[in-house]
Structure 1
Amino acid sequence: MEMESYVVVHNIAKRHNVGTLARSATAFGVSELIVVGRRDFNAFGSHGSTSHLAFRHFHSLLEARSFLKEKGCDICGVEITDDAVAVDQHPFKRSTAFLVGNEGTGLSAKECEICDFFVYIPQYGSGTASLNVTVAASIVLHHFAVWAGFSERIRDGNKFVVAEKPAKQVKRNFCAETVDAIIEERKSRKQNASEFFDGDGNAQSSSNLLEGLFSDDQ
C-alpha cells in the first residue's frame, strides 16, 4: 500500500510560517497541506513551492479529521506529551497527517482530541525550550519520508530538480474551497432562506416568525 503524508495547519500565530511549511512539505513528499479555519495565508518563504503543493480547506478540525479518516490516515500531533514517542523511533503504521501547533502554546486541547498519537523531537542542548514550528515539521516529515520509503528526488549539481509548475493555478495565497464544501454551504444557505417563507412561498414578517417561535401551542 502506498503511503502518503499530510500536514494540518490550524491556529498558527505567525501566518508567514505557512509559506515555509509549504516549502518543507514539497521537499518531503507531502500530498496535501490542509488549512483549517481561515483560508488566506502568507506565502513568504515558500520560494514558489506553493505552486507544487495541493491545498485543502476545512472550517473545523472535526471536518478535517473526517476527511483524513476516510483516507485511512492516522493523525499525529507534534507535541511533547506524557505518551509522546520520540520521532526517531518511527512509530508510524500507515499514511499519516501531522498536526503542528501554535508556536507559543503548542497544541490546544481540541487539537489533541483529534490526534491518534503524538511524537516529539529529542533535544540535546540546553539553550531553548522548543523549536520553530517549521523546523519541527521539517524534521518530523523527513523521518516519515524515510520510514515510508519515499523515492529521493533526482539532483542536478548541488540542487534537486524542481518540477515544471502546474498549468492551472489557484488564487495566490488563498486556499480555495473544495467542491463538496461549496455544495454543503449552498445547501445550508437555501435551508436558511426557506425558513423565512410560509407554505405558500410568501415571505413571513418578523412578527410572524417571533410568534411561531414563542407560541404557547409549541
Structure 2
Amino acid sequence: MRGYFGIGVERLSKPMNVGNLFRSAQAFGAGFLFAVQGSYSKSKAYSDTSQSTHQLPFFEYDTVVEMKLPDHCQLVGIELIDGAVELPTFKHPVQAAYVLGPEKGNLSAEMLDRCGHVIKIPTSFCINVATAGAIVMYDRVVSFGRFGQRATFSRNAGEPSSPRARGAEIPPPKVTQWGATA
C-alpha cells in the first residue's frame, strides 16, 4: 500500500479501548501510534495482546500544541459532528494520522482546529472508540485498492469481476484431457 498512516487518541481514559485500538492498528499496518493528554498505561492495556506499543513507534504528548507529526502528514479527526465528511465519501490522504476523542466526549476544539479533515462514520449514535478506529482503518485499506472490485451479487462473492457485459454469451467450461472442467 502506498503512503503510511498512524492512529492516536486524545484524552482517552480506558486502557482496554486503547489497547484494542492499537492492536487493530498494528494488524491494519499502521506506521505509528500516539496519545495526547491521555492516561494510557501499557501495563493495563490487557487487550493489546500483540504489544503494539513495543512493535511500532509510540508517541505521547501532554498537550495538543506539543503534538508533532511527520512532514506532509495530514491530521484526520474522527468525530460524529455536524459538518464532518461521511466516511464512505472520504478520500484518504496518502500520508495521514487519524485521531479519536475520549469515550465520553468529543475531540477538543484545539484538536479539531489542527485537523485538516474531520470525518464521521454514518451511524445514528456514537460507537466504541476502538470499533470506530478499526472501521476507519479498514476503509483506508479497501480505499487504496489492494483488492478487486466487490461482487454485485452474493453468488459472485469471491470471484474476480468479469469484463463481459450483461446478457453476453457465456463461454463453455474448459475441459481437460481427463474430462474434468477447469
Q: TM-score, normalised to structure 2's length?
A: 0.70
Inter-partner Cα distance in structure 1 for 2:18 and 2:40: 10
Task: State the shift of 1:27 in Å.
Answer: 1.3
Task: State the shift of 1:40 in Å.
Answer: 4.5
Q: What residue is the counterpart of 1:112 in the other structure?
A: 112
Amino acid at match of 1:61: V
Q: Equivalent residue of 2:6, what SS?
A: strand
Task: State the shift of 1:34 in Å.
Answer: 1.0
Change (3 A) 1:145 1:62: farther
Structure 2 residues not aligned, in runs of 5+? 148-182
Change (3 A) 1:77 1:38: closer
Q: 1:57 aligns with which of 57, 60, 75?
A: 60
Q: What residue is the counterpart of 2:144 in the other structure?
A: 148
Amino acid at match of 2:118: F
Q: What residue is the counterpart of 2:12 in the other structure?
A: 12
Q: What residue is the counterpart of 1:134 in the other structure?
A: 130
Amino acid at match of 1:46: D
Change (3 A) 1:40 1:14: closer
Inter-partner Cα distance in structure 2 for 1:38 and 1:131: 19
Task: State the shift of 1:112 in Å.
Answer: 1.0
Inter-partner Cα distance in structure 2 for 1:26 and 1:120: 22
Whichever structure has more helix as a proportion of its residues is: 1
Task: State the shift of 1:88 in Å.
Answer: 1.5
Change (3 A) 1:110 1:147: same
Deviations 1:89-145 (A, max 9, x none): 23223311111001111212122111111111112xx6xx21000000000011112
Instruction: Report the aligned-residue RMSD.
Output: 2.2
- How many matched pairs? 144
Deviations 1:6-25 (A, max 9, x none): 11222013132111111110
Amino acid at match of 1:7: I
Q: TM-score, normalised to structure 1's length?
A: 0.59
Deviations 1:49-105 (A, max 9, x none): 4243321222321222xx31x421111110122221111123223311111001111
Q: Does 1:76 align with 2:79?
A: no
Inter-partner Cα distance in structure 2 for 1:40 and 1:12: 7
The percent identity for this pair of structures is 30
Inter-partner Cα distance in structure 2 for 1:116 and 1:138: 20
Inter-partner Cα distance in structure 2 for 1:48 and 1:73: 26
Inter-partner Cα distance in structure 1 for 2:47 and 2:26: 13
Amino acid at match of 1:148: F
Inter-partner Cα distance in structure 2 for 1:122 and 1:99: 17
For the pair shown, the structure with the greater C-alpha radius of gyration is: 1
